[in-house]
Chain A
Amino acid sequence: MLKVNDIQKSFDRFVAVKRANLEVSQGEIVAVIGPNGAGKSTLFKIISGHLKPDKGTISFRGKDITSMAPHQICRHGLSLSYQIVNIFNRQTVFENVQISVLSRIGKAFDFFTPSRNVAVPETDEILASVGLLGVRDRICGSLSHGEQKVLEIAIALGSKPELLILDEPTAGMSPEETFATISLLEKLNKEGLTILFCEHDIELVFSFANRIMVMQQGISIIQGPPAEVRENREVREAYIGGSD
């Protein structure tokens, strides 16, 4: 479904991603792990089109998306949820998700329908599925951190992606919130959503992901099912056993 080939990206002299390869198939849950500064977030931003790679290609469902703008990539069914909460602060929870839905259903240039009557059921459905319906009309700046992270996911879902990319979805969450989020993601995956994510909590990754890719210093060193990755000596030395 998603194929990342030999991506390279540097900022000035600093090489953030040296050589990254990644493959994601339909229906999978794939995790990217690696120490801080390994280039995970940069890789995700390249895939979603916010950064342009210096080298390499990305294809999504057979189509080359390497040089596409973020909004085009999104329209192809690939959605990014951010690590640092990145929502529309001044708007309500409902409006946050509605924006994404409006954009998907092509209402961006509808000038005369009152927007509070547009796409209401679809938006409420997404809010219900992530459990935010109760705070529907709150200004989202006033939500708790955990709720905002869930809202992140809800906004990404608003564009009805086939592949959802999550940058540290549970960072900063309490254990209960983490558990709830993971079960939400599992539920979404069962409904047919492919998920690519990166995460610090190694135990969580190994229990949740179908396949794992390990990055170190900008290079993807291995890719495979959890068991295989766990066995890999290189990984053990470099990451699990070694640093941190």
Chain B
Amino acid sequence: MKRSLISIFALFISAVIVVWSVPVQAADEIKVGIIDTYSGPPSSYALDVLDGFKLAMNKINASGGVLGKKLAYVTRDDKFKVDLGLTSAKELIMRENVNLLVGTINSAVSLAVSDLAKKEKIPFIVTYGKSSNITGAKGHKFVFNMNENTEMIGKAAAIGLSKRPFVKYWIAGDDYEYGHAVADGVWNHLKKIKPDVQLMGQSWWKVGEPDFTPYITSILSAKPDAVIVATGGAGCIPFLKAAKNTGFNEKIPMFMHTATELSTLRPLGLDAPEGVIGTSNYYFYFPETDANKVFVEEFRKAYDRYPSFGSLIGWYTANFIAKAYEKAGKVDAEKFAEALTGLSIDTPIGPLTVGKFDNQLMLPMFMGVTKKVAGYDFLIASEIMTIPAQEIVTTEEEVKKAREQK
């Protein structure tokens, strides 16, 4: 026992000494702590966000920075794990003394860090977490969402689908919060707009399901008019691939939220199925405005690839941060949060405003259909229909109701 205690001590104390070195804090810096998943499959999304952020940050710093200070960032990898995300967030706040937190593609991490941000009074800007609870039921003064949320997806998809002739639907999706939230959102709103729709049945598979063939064949034997597929980022690609392999997309039309996004279609190359209906908040080829062309040009010059929606999120997140600090007039968490609420900036997809009641960014949605087009080695969206932000954002009453239910 004696020896064991001594050795525990020796090791623990030496470990503490080794890691003692507190990072040096430059005084003329605004430090952004970015927590995201930089390993495993979701990392491609996280890296898009980071590249967009860097692009905008470099530009801001080149033109004099914010309030005379430079923007800087540090990243931490949460490995898609809540506990690691929380530890990293605490480390960033307590040890790195960051001014604000940005990040996380994982909604569970977003919610956990949001709770911490509330306690520590540090602004937290969610970049890729899509749960509507982040700014809805669990929203608070210091949390902001720069991404579309499941409620918005539901409303947008319902509006788009109601214009199509389908009546009998089947719902299939990833068996987790995001999948169910999207499915419920689409279905409830669709039912409201077009009361004669019928739900024939549902299939739910576990997250990371490797083989979708049995699910697809079982849906095929039910013969619905259309299928609403509610898969999250990781599930989209294999599902689309299975749909192509089995010829599913030729038999039954299907809607999938991110199906037309670049991050989904690029890895599939020309193996992606055609004719899939999808919504997205951004295409590098749409809207065909000058601002978008400039952004795509700059992004391609810096990283030699097309920007995805993630890249745009990163880009405007950095711009929002800069603008909010300027509006606040000083580097102060409370003032920053107040300034960011209701703030508007110009972006490649037009002016965007952070919601006044819930701190949710009001984003328009584009619905398109996948198609092979000469000149690209992946599929792109065609027949694009714009659903304006006003029609899909959460209303003040809805936010109030969600928060009261807590």
Direct A–B contact in the complex, CB atoms closer than 8 angstroms: no
